[in-house]
Amino acid sequence: MRRVVVTGIGAITPIGNNASAYLHGLQKGISGAAPITLFDASLFKTRFACEVKDFKVEDHLDKKEAKRMDRFTHFAMVVAGECIKDSGLDLEKLDMDQAGVIWGSGIGGLQTLESEIIDFARGNGTPRYNPFLIPRMISDIAAGYISIHYGFRGANYGTVSACASSNHAILNSVDEIRLGRADVMISGGSEATVIPTGVGGFNAMKALSERNDDPKTASRPFDKDRDGFVLGEGGGGLVLEEYEHARARGAKIYAEIIGGASSADAYHITAPHPEGRGALLVMKKALADAKLNSTAVQYINVHGTSTPLGDIAEVKAIQSIFGDHIFNLNISSTKSMTGHLLGAAGAIEAIACIHAINHDFIPPTINHFTDDPEIDPRINLTFNEAQQKKIDIALSNTFGFGGHNTSVIFKRV
């Protein structure tokens, strides 16, 4: 199979509005959590989130075009533009039949759907909906807009698997290139659910932290007193390219994707398998796909959402597959800084792994105060401060409601 490399990156996150600023946030251990400003959250159990700061869509997109898009598509267009520019691709010379877009979003245009339903309910019952309701709402539309804007005519669709959505987009894009169906793929994910429906819905599930008195430290993966995840928004994009195609044009190469896999817990709609059975399986399959022994992995960017059940299940899975090598690994959850970007989580965490490889550091798991007695203290969860370390191979996990599991493995080139 053909080799796949990353030649461009783009990000808009709660701790940085481009890939470079995101790197700085990861290195400094910045928390993106703060009281919600996008709507009045005073009546909600959770009144804080990890919002993207100082984002003005008119700085990036034509005003008329932007009005036809949901916020999650705004993010998609901005990061796609950044990663394409970063890649140095000459689009006039690129075979557009061999270039495609696969983009993930767990929920899509929830803001649009919420707004239209509220407007309808407040009206006189006459069914007058915005003609852009459907094309703003559907999850695949971000991939469509990117394709239309740049002229990419290869594979084009969206992936929807809750919090695993953008990792599935990356894996599917890798397969397009491996199998010769494409030379270049734009892949990633975006999400924009810091709205009443998003916060209220996750509150009703008891999934969100309610630490309103101290938002910045609310996302605390692996801490004994963790009480749920912090909702985030934003997006991440990658230009994936066939290795020889990238070399022929003299492209800079950030990393190679050498393996990946998917699995299912087949257990529960929201809770992980208690022993991490699906998580163990997906990491095992990813290592096999990469033809790697587990001892080759140096860093794992874990799903690590700061939920009582999820964090423990993932640690158990890592212990099961890595054995004593777990004590040589660095493990961290960057969700402690960015919050949980749902369907975009895999994309920005892929970029965190790429940054780790290119800048010789481990992003920290911030907000650790109290050890969890169920977690072996010898495991290096990179608490509170980034660590300098040369990383050649990094693995990224993302798991979604419904039992969807994904792992992607990145290697220094």
The residues that are catalytic are 163, 303, 340
Question: Measuring CA to CA, which residue among 282, 278, 300, 288 is closest to residue 258?
Answer: 288
| 3 state SS of 392 | coil
What are the counts of helices (DSSP H) followed by strands (DSSP E) for the chain? 13, 14
| C-beta of residue 228 within 8 angstroms of C-beta of residue 207 | yes
| 3 state SS of 345 | helix
Phi, psi angle pair for 20, to nearest 5°: -70, -45
Which residues, other chains included, contact 167 with Cβ-Cβ below 8 Å and sequence gap of 6+? 104, 260, 346, 347, 350, 396, 398, 406, 407, 408
| C-beta of residue 284 within 8 angstroms of C-beta of residue 380 | no
Adjacent-strand bridge partners of 10: 237
DSSP state of 52: P
Distance CA 313, CA 280 (A): 9
Q: What is the DSSP string of 233-275?
A: -EEEEEEEEEHHHHHHTT----EEEEEEEEEE--S-SSSPPTT
DSSP H helices, 339-395, are: 345-359
DSSP H helices, 57-132, are: 63-67, 71-87, 110-122
Question: Measuring CA to CA, which residue among 274, 254, 276 is closest to residue 263?
Answer: 276
Residues in the chain: 413
